[in-house]
């Protein structure tokens, strides 16, 4: 991530002054000449390797890198505090768990951006999937879902996303209301490896065992796994979890926590947006946390029961 910040800094230094109104601190006060040459002749970059890219290309790269930063570590770079979330995002690694198959978790989906796995998601009907709001990057046309496969990079069926809707109250700084629904252009063909998961509507008691599944690295800072993994973690009381994250403002009523006080087992990078299931019902959506499986910091999930009415309004499910 720090490499991307350095690259982004270099690109911004070469680009247009009007980069994006969302990042006023990353533009110059005076307009930069955009370098159009009147007269003269064409040439190649080999003759002028120090030449910066055109402004239109620059703006595209800035948008892409901004999206990458949004999906990455919260510890981006202290020089750019405006380009990080206030709360560290879990990116989907399953730590301390084991490999499994899609037959055991047939509701599990791989959310893909530009053909690459970026997050998890869950099937909630033949036409709809549920994921985290912070996983929604780009437009719906750039997103697909892989269903029915144990592997994030092969098998199963690919479904184009036709509509992606974040909760209107989602906050990228607090990660409150971190939930989104995705409609697919072609319905999921339900079967043994592709099934709907029911959503929790009631209260889940602290200590209840839940299972989180997904693809990602198996250790903090490790390499990603392309094989589906799972781990069992106990639900943590709201008061205990809020105390653990007091330095981050605690948790809200739209969050639920699960994990061990001693650490060792958790969701982490690559699993954002993925399912937390207890007693056969979806109770949480992987959202954020400090590191991966660190002692004293349980994983934090969007609380499905307290967001259930919004999901129903958006999808009819």
Q: CB of 229 within 8 A of CB of 215?
A: yes
Is residue 210 within a helix (H) or strand (E), and if so which, with residue range?
strand 209-217
Instruction: Based on the residue annotation, tell me whether 272 is a catalytic residue of this protein.
Output: yes
Say whether 242 sits in a helix, a strand or coil: helix
DSSP-derived pairing of the beta strands 143-147 and 255-258: unpaired
Is residue 7 within a helix (H) or strand (E), and if so which, with residue range?
helix 2-14
Instruction: Based on the residue annotation, tell me whether 167 is a catalytic residue of this protein.
Output: no
CB-based burial label for 171 (10 Å; 0-12, 13-18, 19+): middle
Among 59, 60, 63, CA closest to 83? 63
State the DSSP code for 191. B
For 214: left if phi > 0, alpha if psi spans -120 to 50, otherwise beta; the answer is: left
Distance of CA 157 to the CA centre of its chain: 21
Report the residue count for the chain: 317
Give DSSP secondary structure letters for 50-101: TPPPPHHHHHHHHHHHHHHHHHS-S---TT-GGGS-SSPBP-EEEES-EE--
Active-site pick, 131, 272, 287, 305: 272
Active-site pick, 91, 176, 178, 266: 178
Active-site pick, 117, 134, 159, 167: 134
Residue positions annotated with a catalytic role: 134, 178, 272
């Amino acid at each position: 991530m720090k490499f991307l910040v350095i690259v982004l800094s270099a690109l911004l230094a070469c680009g247009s002054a009007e980069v994006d109104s969302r990042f006023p601190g990353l533009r110059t006060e005076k307009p930069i000449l955009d370098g159009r040459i009147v007269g003269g002749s064409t040439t190649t970059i080999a003759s002028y390797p120090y030449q910066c890219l055109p402004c239109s290309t620059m703006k595209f790269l800035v948008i892409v890198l901004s999206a990458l930063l949004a999906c990455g570590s919260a510890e981006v770079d202290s020089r750019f505090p405006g380009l990080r979330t206030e709360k560290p995002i879990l990116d989907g690694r399953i730590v301390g768990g084991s490999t499994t198959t899609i037959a055991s978790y047939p509701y599990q989906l791989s959310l893909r951006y530009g053909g690459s796995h970026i997050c998890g998601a869950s099937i909630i009907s033949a036409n709809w999937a549920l994921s985290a709001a912070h996983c929604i990057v780009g437009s719906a046309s750039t997103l697909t879902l892989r269903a029915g496969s144990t592997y994030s990079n092969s098998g199963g069926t690919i479904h184009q996303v036709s509509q992606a809707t974040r909760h209107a109250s989602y906050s990228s700084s607090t990660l409150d209301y971190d939930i989104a629904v995705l409609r697919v252009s072609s319905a999921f063909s339900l079967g043994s490896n592709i099934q709907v998961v029911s959503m929790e509507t009631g209260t889940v008691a602290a200590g209840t065992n839940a299972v989180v599944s997904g693809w990602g690295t198996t250790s903090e800072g490790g390499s990603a796994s392309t094989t589906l993994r799972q781990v069992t973690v106990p639900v943590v009381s709201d008061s205990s979890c809020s105390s653990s994250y007091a330095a981050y403002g605690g948790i809200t009523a739209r969050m639920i926590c699960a994990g061990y006080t001693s650490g060792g087992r958790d969701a982490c990078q690559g699993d954002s947006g993925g399912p937390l299931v207890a007693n056969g019902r979806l109770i949480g959506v992987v959202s954020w946390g400090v590191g991966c499986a660190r002692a004293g910091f349980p994983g934090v999930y969007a609380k499905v029961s307290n967001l259930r009415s919004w999901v129903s309004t958006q999808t009819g499910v």
